Amino acid sequence: MTDQDIRRFEEICAKTLSSEHEKAGIGTLNEKTLHSVLKNYLEPDTSRHEIRIGRYVADIFRNDEIIEIQTRNFYGMRKKLSFFLDRYRVTIVYPVPAEKYINWIDPSTGEIQSRRRSPKKPHPQEMAHELIHILPFLEHPNLNFHIIYLNVEDYKLLNGWDSSRKKGSERYERIPTGIVSEKFIRSISDYSWFIPETLPGKFTKKEYKKSAGITDTCAQRMLYILTKLGLINRTGKKGRAWLYERA
């Protein structure tokens, strides 16, 4: 990524936020600001946006490649991927907050009640929660991933069910403010990015979890994915825990 890319992304953010299109709060196909900014960053030619292919609509279609921007719900992409991958190269763009500020909005007045920096750090392995839903497609030669780390402002409504009104609240909007870095997965070997270099030659789920800084469920899912992709193998047990090693 170059300084020019960073400046261009910031310009697109500013242009999108200042447009009447976004002020109205209604985007093409009900898209939000993050989706719109990424689409214009990845493909400035709007004639290549929202292209119907068969009974589906591709976010971007150019040079026999489909680009799909997906913030979550990979499960809902399965039928679409099944149709697209047999015909075209498909890149799934997955935005990840590198630095995030949370803005709490009073839904009755629209005023921002508080703003704070989220202490949560991004961990690549957390993508396992989405990848697990499209595991049968991960080895398809036409499937690629483009992971984009962003600085974002999250806007959430104070309409939750607890006394703070935060638990169970709704996200109103996520607005990107800058691009930090990009990572591409274009082959099976690229998934080794999810294996921390700090791991010993043989390791347990607990050691993987600690090294990656993730939850037990996330570690379990990512180890399952990496095993299915042939990047790690089970080699036996250490007590009651499975032992793994790089393939």
CA distance 82 to 64: 16
CA distance 237 to 204: 8
Q: Is the pLDDT of residue 202 over 50?
A: yes
pLDDT in tens, 138-149: 999 999 999 999
Q: What is the pTM of this model?
A: 0.89
DSSP-H helix ranges across the chain:
3-18, 20-23, 33-42, 78-85, 128-131, 205-212, 216-228
Q: Is the pLDDT of residue 150 over 90?
A: yes
Position 108 scores a pLDDT of 85
Whether the Cβ atoms of residue 49 and residue 212 lie closer than 8 Å to each other? no
Enter the CATH code of domain 195-247: 3.30.63.20
Rounded mean pLDDT of the chain? Answer: 91
pLDDT in tens, 12-69: 998 887 764 445 543 333 448 899 999 999 999 999 999 999 999 999 999 999 999 9
CA distance 141 to 187: 7
- CATH 3.30.63.20 residue ranges of the chain are 195-247
Whether the Cβ atoms of residue 128 and residue 74 lie closer than 8 Å to each other? no
CA distance 55 to 81: 12
Once rounded to an integer, what is the mean pLDDT over residues 135-158? 95
Position 23 scores a pLDDT of 52
Position 79 scores a pLDDT of 96
> Which residues are within 8 A (CB) of 100 and not within 5 positions of it... i.e. 6 or more apart?
117, 118, 120, 151, 152, 153, 154
Q: Is the pLDDT of residue 226 over 80?
A: yes
Position 81 scores a pLDDT of 97
Mean pLDDT lowest for which of 31-35, 86-90, 217-221?
31-35
CA distance 96 to 66: 20
Mean pLDDT lowest for which of 53-57, 102-106, 135-139, 222-226?
102-106
Once rounded to an integer, what is the mean pLDDT over residues 100-107? 91
Once rounded to an integer, what is the mean pLDDT over residues 178-199? 96
The pair of structure tokens assigned to 218 is 């996330």
| Closest of 36, 87, 32 to residue 60, by C-alpha | 36
Higher pLDDT, 31 or 154: 154
| Closest of 245, 227, 244, 219 to residue 126, by C-alpha | 219
